[in-house]
Structure 1
Amino acid sequence: MTITVGQAFERVLGRNTSLRVVAWDGSSGGADDGLTVRLHSPRALSYLVTAPGELGVARAYLQGELSIDGMDEGDPYEVIKHLGRGLRLRLPSWRELGDVVSVLRATGLSLPELPPVETPSQWRRLTHGLRHGRRRDAEAIQHHYDVGNEFYEHVLGPSMTYTCAVFETPETSLEDAQFAKYDLVARKLGLEPGMRLLDVGCGWGGMVRHAVKHYGVTALGVTLSREQATWAQEAIRRDGLEGRAEVRHGDYRDVTERGFDAISSIGLTEHIGVKNYPAYFRFLRDHLRDEGRLLNHCITRPDNTHPGLPTRGFINRYVFPDGELTGSGDIVRVMEDEGFEVKHHENLREHYALTLAGWSTNLSKRWDDCVALAGLGRARVWGLYLAGSRLGFEDNGIQLHQVLATRTSEAGTAGYPLRPQFT
């Protein structure tokens, strides 16, 4: 006799689980007092089976075929933590496995429609150019960053800063922590009045404006996002920084000016592609003067053995198409191979977990506004992405490293103090 859908899940989950599954036919399985996951139609099961793991769950949720009781859609951290840390699957016996297969056959599985906010697979994206070519890089950036500036204002807060902040204590406000991050970068770079700063991948121009306001430099920022550039240009006019601060819409590789005293790269390296690191760091070195400094700030893996991102993973398909990560050791190696002298290396992993918690709180508080601006599907993607990333940083699945280096002259002069002055 064919078992129910709920019983099939219980074959996989067992009774000693923290999860309860309730299916569209009224059947259930798992723990009676567990976190309740509801499958609203056979399509939910098709999503789970055709893409086992996080991708299938995300697809079913984004399409409204799966829901979880009590979940805060703007900040589903507690639910994701429960699933990520507390859920343990058991291996069914051959007989139990046969029962599960019989349910799948009876349900009539099909290839379900993908959520409209999902980007195409790696192979289908080849029609948009080679990976990390200029056209495809621009489209990847637009997919993520051109959601609308008002949406980002709700999520990021007044600083409009979409990179890891630096917290004095866990109670430090997000705005104060973002100010502290920019100030730490400025001090690491040794910025002084009259210097010239290049900020590649400048976002909404936060580092550019901070450096000009507080350190008296002249700064140029470059971003591939037109929405970011438009917002940043208006902020520069509003702050009266014209003539000293500039943000361009374009590719950093089109910057022709050279001889900068300092370069900051805050959250760009993730989009470059690991194979392109040599050309990237060579470009940055070529645009620095001798004794100039580079601060590279980016998300990393905790090891150097698995560069890239899973092509079928949630982040690659919904958040950062073509994004790639590797360990900080790989980054340091390439920087040194391209002629930089590395002077300081810092891991801010815990700080990014706190930053993401702040963004999740903002998204939850302004959930209805964010849904109205970006649509329910994209807002749900952001809820999952921020909460899941927070868990990843907390569990040391991903890290955030700042690497400070100099373009040391042929005579061995680094222009760097005997002891750093920013700690």
Structure 2
Amino acid sequence: MTGVLERAATSTEPVAGILARVLGNTPTLRVEAFDGSATGPKDAPVTLHVNSPRALGRLVSAPGTLGLARAYVTSEIDVDGDLHTALAAMAEVTLHSIPRREQLKLVRQLLPYWREHRMPPPDLEARPKGFLHSRRRDSQAISHHYDVSNTFYEYVLGPSMTYTCAAYPDADASLETAQAAKYEMVCTKLALEPGMKLLDVGCGWGGMVRHAAREHGVKALGVTLSKEQAAWAQAAIEREGLADLAEVRHLDYRDVPDGVYDAVSSIGLTEHIGKANIPGYFRSMYAKLRPGGRMLNHCITQPYKPDHRHTDPFIHRYVFPDGELETIGSLVSEMNEAGFEVRHEENLREHYALTLRDWGTNLEKHWDDAVAEVGIGRARVWRLYMAACRLGFDLDNIQLHQVLGVKLHDDKSSGFPLRGAHGAY
């Protein structure tokens, strides 16, 4: 009997118990630690494996999501089962979300692990240099994320090479169908017609540019700060026989000369430019439009006014360095102040959760090839990032908004139909 009790005591060693204080008790999550301790039901759909005491050291040095992410990226923590399910079970995981007294108790318990097993942050973390949102620093930040590998992005994004929220006709629609539907939605809102001139800022791999040229006969120019994206996009334009209508340049949106464009699309750029630059950004887009021209701004937003605008520490260090999210109200106000009449707005956050679901599925399908292309650490960054962001959209922690504005004619006419913002309903 004594031996049974001793073994039982060994099976509940402090490591899993300590983590249970942070993670909470949930029937969907089991924790198994390197010291043999465990918590949670054996039949839980997800098991969190703490493989090394270094993981606990990371939780002390960077409490909350960043410490957990560092441990996951370095394989010091692993997950059996669906990562999205695991994160949903740990949705409130952060030492900062528990009472101060309990937080200090946890730190005291973990401090010996930090002293003995402290490690520098993984070298995959971004460290852009220079003034925040200067041209040089923005170029570094964009390169960190987008110049990873075009081949890797092909594995994740699929044939459309579109790295923005899709628009799903229904939840079972394919990713390619949904991305094409998104581009067509934007084209409809912009009222594109053959012969029009479109400027697409932050164009990525040129999906919008190619769709507008191919499906609507529009003469489209796309600009991106990523050299890898620009090279891939221009090659795709040539390959698809669209060179007489479409072009993508490696260029800062601030360096696009003012001209007379009929429409501007901005799909996933606003998150990168910073709050201080947003007024100038909208003014510059306004200056590039003819009277009656329209702008569609599509971006991730905060659902409420945040205490700080930087993204989650893990996202900030590993995925979108220097990214800043605004509320939809502030973006609408800035568009209005820049001169646009705002005609339509909608939230597509559920669609982004579905998009991330499908990107995650693509990554798992091509996992071995993805690891061979970019390494296990970066592949794990992406696996974690997509699962975490999907959960963020599920829980309304982040949103995705499209805002449509028009540069009025001198007589203040808009050119819009009487019914609906863009004649679609």
User: Percent identity, aligned pairs only?
Assistant: 53
Contact 2:69/2:314, CA 8 A, preserved across alignment: yes
Contact 1:212/1:219, CA 8 A, preserved across alignment: yes
Q: How many residues align?
A: 409
Q: Following TM superposition, by how much is the alpha carbon of 1:6 offset from its aligned partner in structure 2, in angstroms?
A: 2.8
The change in CA–CA distance for 1:15 and 1:372 in structure 2 (over 3 A counts) is closer
The change in CA–CA distance for 1:197 and 1:16 in structure 2 (over 3 A counts) is closer
Counterpart mapping for 1:297-336 below 5 A: 297-306=298-307, 308-310=309-311, 313-336=313-336
Contact 1:304/1:328, CA 8 A, preserved across alignment: no
3-state SS, counterpart of residue 184 of structure 2: helix
Tell me the C-alpha RMSD between the 2 structures: 2.6
Q: Which runs of 4+ in 1 moved over 2 A?
A: 3-8, 10-42, 85-94, 96-111, 304-307
Q: Following TM superposition, by how much is the alpha carbon of 1:102 offset from its aligned partner in structure 2, in angstroms?
A: 5.5
Q: Does 1:71 align with 2:65?
A: no
The change in CA–CA distance for 1:118 and 1:106 in structure 2 (over 3 A counts) is closer
Deviations 1:258-301 (A, max 9, x none): 01000000000010101111000000000001110000000111
Q: Following TM superposition, by how much is the alpha carbon of 1:422 offset from its aligned partner in structure 2, in angstroms?
A: 2.5
Distance in 2 separating the partners of 1:87 and 1:224: 34
The change in CA–CA distance for 1:149 and 1:320 in structure 2 (over 3 A counts) is same
Residue 130 (structure 1) aligns with: 131
The change in CA–CA distance for 1:291 and 1:106 in structure 2 (over 3 A counts) is closer
Q: Following TM superposition, by how much is the alpha carbon of 1:14 offset from its aligned partner in structure 2, in angstroms?
A: 9.6
Counterpart mapping for 1:64-103 below 5 A: 64-68=75-79, 70-71=80-81, 76-84=83-91, 101=108
Counterpart mapping for 1:256-335 below 5 A: 256-306=257-307, 308-310=309-311, 313-335=313-335
Structure 2 alignment gaps of length 5 or more: 1-11
3-state SS, counterpart of residue 400 of structure 1: strand
Structure 1 alignment gaps of length 5 or more: none
3-state SS, counterpart of residue 296 of structure 2: strand
The change in CA–CA distance for 1:107 and 1:33 in structure 2 (over 3 A counts) is farther
TM-score (norm 2): 0.89
The change in CA–CA distance for 1:83 and 1:305 in structure 2 (over 3 A counts) is closer
Counterpart mapping for 1:9-408 below 5 A: 9=18, 12=21, 16-18=25-27, 19-29=29-39, 35-68=46-79, 70-71=80-81, 76-84=83-91, 101=108, 104-105=111-112, 108-109=115-116, 111-120=118-127, 125=128, 128-306=129-307, 308-310=309-311, 313-408=313-408
Residue 410 (structure 1) aligns with: 410
Distance in 2 separating the partners of 1:301 and 1:248: 30
Contact 2:234/2:248, CA 8 A, preserved across alignment: yes
The change in CA–CA distance for 1:30 and 1:180 in structure 2 (over 3 A counts) is closer
Aligned AA (2:75): G
Deviations 1:68-108 (A, max 9, x none): 3x235xxx2122122227999987988x9769735633773
Deviations 1:355-411 (A, max 9, x none): 111101100100111111111111000001111111111111111100000011232
TM-score (norm 1): 0.90
Q: Following TM superposition, by how much is the alpha carbon of 1:252 offset from its aligned partner in structure 2, in angstroms?
A: 1.4
